[in-house]
A and B are shown apart, each in its own frame.
Chain A
Amino acid sequence: MKANTISLEHGAGGEVMQALIGEIILKNFHNKSAGSIGLDSLDDGSTVRLENFNPASELVLTTDSHVITPAFFPDTNIGRLAVSGTINDLTVMGAKPLALTCSVIIPEGFPIHEFEEIIKTMDKTAAEAGVPIITGDTKTMEKTALDSIILNTAGLGITDSPVRDSGLKPGDRLLVTGTIGDHGISLMAHREGFDFDTDLVSDSAPLWKLIEPVLKIKTPEGKPVVTAMKDPTRGGLANALNEMASKSGVGVMLEEDLIPFKPAVTAACEMLGLDPLEVANEGKAVIGVKAGFEEEVLSILKQHPYGRDAALIGEVTAENKGEVILRNRFGGMRYVDVPAGDPIPRVC
C-alpha cells in the first residue's frame, strides 16, 4: 500500500478499495471459509455448510456494532472486542459459532497500519475460537462525519438446546467465569489518563472454548445443568443479573465476599466512587447452574485460562421476584439496581 492513511477512495469500490481489501484484509485473515464459497471468492455472499445437520438443531444469528474511543486500549484493540462480543453472544445462547462477518466503516485519515493491526487482531481472536470470518464490507466516511472506526460483526451459530437468559429457577447456583469489572475500569483508567500503577487490562476474550465443555455436562436424567447464561457487558453484572432475574421471574441473592474482583478494580472503584458491578466486562459470562452441579462446572471452568478465577457468587431465590440483592459479610443487604447510564466518578 502506498498511502499511509485511509482516504475516501478506499471505500469507493474501485482499484484503491480492491487493493485495501486484498493487501490488508484478505492477506491477514487466515480462516476465511465455512463452506464452498468463502471470503477469498469476493462473491456477493459466502456459504456455510451444515455438516451432520440435526433437524432438531436451530441456527442462531446475532449482530453487534462496535464503537470505542480510543480504538486501541490496554492491551488490545477494537478488533478483539468486535470478534469476542459476537462469539460470546452466540456462546451464551449455547450455540457453537459457525461463521462471522466483518463490516468496517473507516473515517478518512485513519492510519492504515492501525487498520491492519485491527484486522490482524480480529484474525487472531477468531482463530482462538476456531471461527472463520467469511464475508464483509468496507466503507469510508469523511472525517467531519465520523471520528472513529466502526466495526460490525454478525455471527451465525448452531445449537440443539438453546440457553436462554430467562431460564433461572429457584435454587439454581450462579457462577461467574472470572473477575468482574476489568474491562470497564482499565478502559476508564486508560481513557482518562488515571494511573493506578497497575497492569490492569481489558478482559476482552472469546469464550466459546471455555463454555463448550460446560454445555456438555448433563444431569443423570440427561438434562443440561446450565439453566441460563448471559455475558455481562455494558451495565456490568448488575444489568445482566437484573435482566436474568426479571425475565426468569425469580430473585437473586449475591454474597459480596464471593464475587471475584481484582484488587486494582476494587481500589479504583473505591477512589472514584464507582460500583464494580456496574462496569462492563468483555470476556466473562454469568452462568445459572442446577444446585449440586456447581463444583463440577467450576472445576471445568478453572481448567481454561479464561476461567481460572471462576467463582460461585450467589443463588436464585423464589422470593424477591425480579430483584437482585447483595448481602455483605456482616449481613447488610442492598439492592443491586440497573445502572442509570454510564458510570460517573463522584465529586468528593
Chain B
Amino acid sequence: MENKDSSLKPALPDLEKKLLERIYASETSLRIMHVCGTHERTISKYGLRSVLPQNMEVISGPGCPVCVTPEKDIDIAIALAKSGAAVVTFGDMMRVPGSVESLLDAKSEGADVRMVYSIDDAVSLANKKPELDIVFFGIGFETTVPANAAALLRNTPENFSLLASQKQTPPAVELLARDAEVDAFIAPGHVATIIGTKPFEPLAEKGFPVVVSGFEARDILLGINLLLEQAEKGVSRVDNGYPRVVKAEGNKIALKLMNEVFETSESEWRGIGNIEGSGLVLRREYEEKDASKKHEDLYAASLSEIRAKSDRKDKKRCICAAILTGKAKPSQCPSFGKDCTPKNPTGPCMVSQEGMCYNWFRYSREGGSRFA
C-alpha cells in the first residue's frame, strides 16, 4: 500500500500528532500487549500500526471473549439446541466452531438457535414464549457478567436458564506475563470500568508497565506514551489513561451484583487451557438457573454423540493458541488468509470481529505492518 500525499488530505489534528511525535522521539523499544478485542479493533481500524515506528510493536493477547470460549462449552450449547431447547446468544458466537460444528450449523440442521443483543432480550423472549425452554449462552468477560447477574436477580421466568461461559481477565494476563515475550501491557478499558485498576497491580509489581486505555485512537497513543514514560524511568505501575470512565476501585454496584450471583472458579480458555481463578460460575443458590445442570438429562445423549464424532473428526488446525498468547502473528499461520478467512473461518480468531486474525485480515492483510 502506498501512502502518497494527496491533495485531498485534511490537516493533521494536533493531539494525535503530538502523541505520535513523542513516540517517534523515543529510542526505547517496546513490545506491548493489549488484551481486549475492542482495542484490537481500534488499532486496526485507525491503522495505528501503520503510523507507529518500528520499535513500537503492539500485539494482541486473549481479549476476544468469543475466541477464548472453549469448544466444550459450545458443544454443550449445541447439544442443548439439538435436544429441544432454544439457545439464544450473541451473533458472533453463532459462527464459532465447537469440536464438530457451530451453532449456526446446528441451526441450519433445524435446531432452535437465535441471535440476541443482550441477556435482557433473551429474558423477554422467555416471557413471550412460555412454551420454549430458553437457554441464554452467556459468554464474556467482566464487562458482560454484571448484566447477566442483574438479569438473574430480577427474577427470570421458569423457562429461562443461563449457560455461563464467563471469564475474568487478570488471572489470564498474569499467566501470559510469565512466558510471553512482552515488555508492557495495555489493560482493557471496558473491563477496568467494572473491576477498577487495582486487579492489574500484581502485574506492575512483577515489573511490567501497565496502562488502562480507552478506545479512541488518541487513547491508545496516549497509553503508549504513558508506557514509554514508565519504561524510560525504569518504573512499573498501573497508569489510568482512561480516567474519564475508569476509577481505581471500579464500579462497586456492578461488582456487588456479580459477586452475589457468581463465584470464582477454574476455567478453560480456548487455546490456552485451564487457568486457576479465571472463571465465574453460578453460585449454588442459583443452581436452578444453570442450564448445564437444569437440562443435564435432556442434552446428555446429544452431547455424547457430538463427543464421539469429535474424536473421529480429522480437524483442520490453525495456530490460534499461539496467536492468542502473543507468541505468533496471524500472518505466521499457514491457514491465515488462505483456507481461513472471515468468510470461511477455521479458528475462532477469524470468526469474531474482536478476533486478532479477523481484524488483521480485514484491515491490513499482512498484519498491520507499515503500509508505506
Q: Give A contacts to B, CB under 8 Å.
A: 192, 194, 253, 255, 257-258, 273, 275, 312, 314-315, 317, 319-320, 323, 325-335, 337, 340, 344-348
Contacts and interface: CB of A to CB of B under 8 A. Distances in A.
B2 A257 contact: no
Contact of A255 (B3, B6, B371): B6
Contacts of B4: 317, 319
19 contacts: A192-B121, A258-B10, A273-B41, A312-B8, A317-B4, A325-B1, A330-B17, A331-B12, A332-B217, A333-B371, A334-B44, A334-B46, A335-B1, A335-B363, A335-B365, A344-B92, A346-B92, A347-B352, A348-B38
Contacts of B37: 346-348
B8 A330 contact: no
Contact of A328 (B46, B117, B342): B46
B6 A334 contact: no
Interface in B346-372: 352-354, 361-365, 371
A328 B236 CA distance: 33
A328 B353 CA distance: 20
Contacts of B371: 325, 333
Nearest to A326: B47
A348 B188 CA distance: 11
Contacts of A312: 8
A346 B143 CA distance: 12
Contacts of B342: 340
B343 interface: yes
B92 A347 contact: yes
A315 B143 CA distance: 41
A302 B2 CA distance: 33
B286 interface: no
Interface in B204-218: 217
A330 B50 CA distance: 11
A328 B217 contact: yes
B65 A329 contact: no
Contact of B65 (A314, A337, A348): A348
Contact of A340 (B9, B45, B46, B343): B343
Contacts of B117: 192, 194, 345
A258 B365 contact: no
Nearest to A345: B117
B141 A348 contact: yes
Contacts of B48: 332
Interface string B7-21: 011101100110010
A347 B10 contact: no
Contacts of B143: 348
A52 B277 CA distance: 81
A131 B10 CA distance: 41
Interface of B: 1-4, 6, 8-10, 12-13, 16-17, 20, 37-38, 41, 44-48, 50-51, 65-66, 90-93, 115, 117, 121, 139-141, 143-144, 190, 217, 342-343, 352-354, 361-365, 371
A208 B25 CA distance: 54
A333 B51 CA distance: 8
Given A329-B10, A346-B92, A348-B37, A334 B3 contact: no
A192 B217 CA distance: 29
A332 B364 contact: no
A85 to B, nearest CB: 25
A330 B364 contact: no
A172 to B, nearest CB: 12
A257 B217 CA distance: 14
A195 to B, nearest CB: 13
A182 B44 CA distance: 24
A257 B10 contact: yes
Given A335-B364, A348-B144, A348-B190, A330 B91 contact: no
A332 B47 CA distance: 4
Given A253-B6, A346-B37, A348-B190, A332 B17 contact: no
Contacts of B9: 255, 327
A333 B3 contact: yes
B6 to A, nearest CB: 6
Contacts of B38: 273, 346, 348
Contacts of B41: 273, 346
Nearest to A294: B8
A185 to B, nearest CB: 14
Contacts of A194: 117
Contacts of A325: 1, 371
Contacts of B365: 335
A298 to B, nearest CB: 13
Nearest to B8: A255
Which 9 residue pairs are nearest across A and B when measured between Cβ atoms?
Answer: A332-B47, A344-B91, A330-B16, A348-B143, A340-B342, A334-B363, A334-B47, A333-B47, A332-B46
A194 B118 CA distance: 11
B10 A273 contact: no
Contact of B353 (A253, A273, A314): A273
Most chain A Cβ neighbours within 10 Å, of B45, B93, B354: B45
Contacts of A315: 6, 8
Nearest to B10: A257
B246 to A, nearest CB: 15
Nearest to A314: B8
Contacts of A347: 37, 65-66, 90, 92-93, 139-140, 144, 352, 354
A330 B13 contact: yes
A329 B3 contact: no
Nearest to B141: A348
Nearest to B341: A340
Nearest to B359: A334
Most chain B Cβ neighbours within 10 Å, of A255, A317, A323, A329: A329
A328 B342 CA distance: 24
Contact of A319 (B2, B45, B47): B2
A346 B139 CA distance: 12
A325 B343 CA distance: 20
A326 B10 CA distance: 13
Contacts of A333: 1, 3, 47, 50, 371
Given A255-B10, A315-B8, A346-B353, A328 B47 contact: yes
A199 to B, nearest CB: 22
B144 A330 contact: no
Nearest to B19: A330
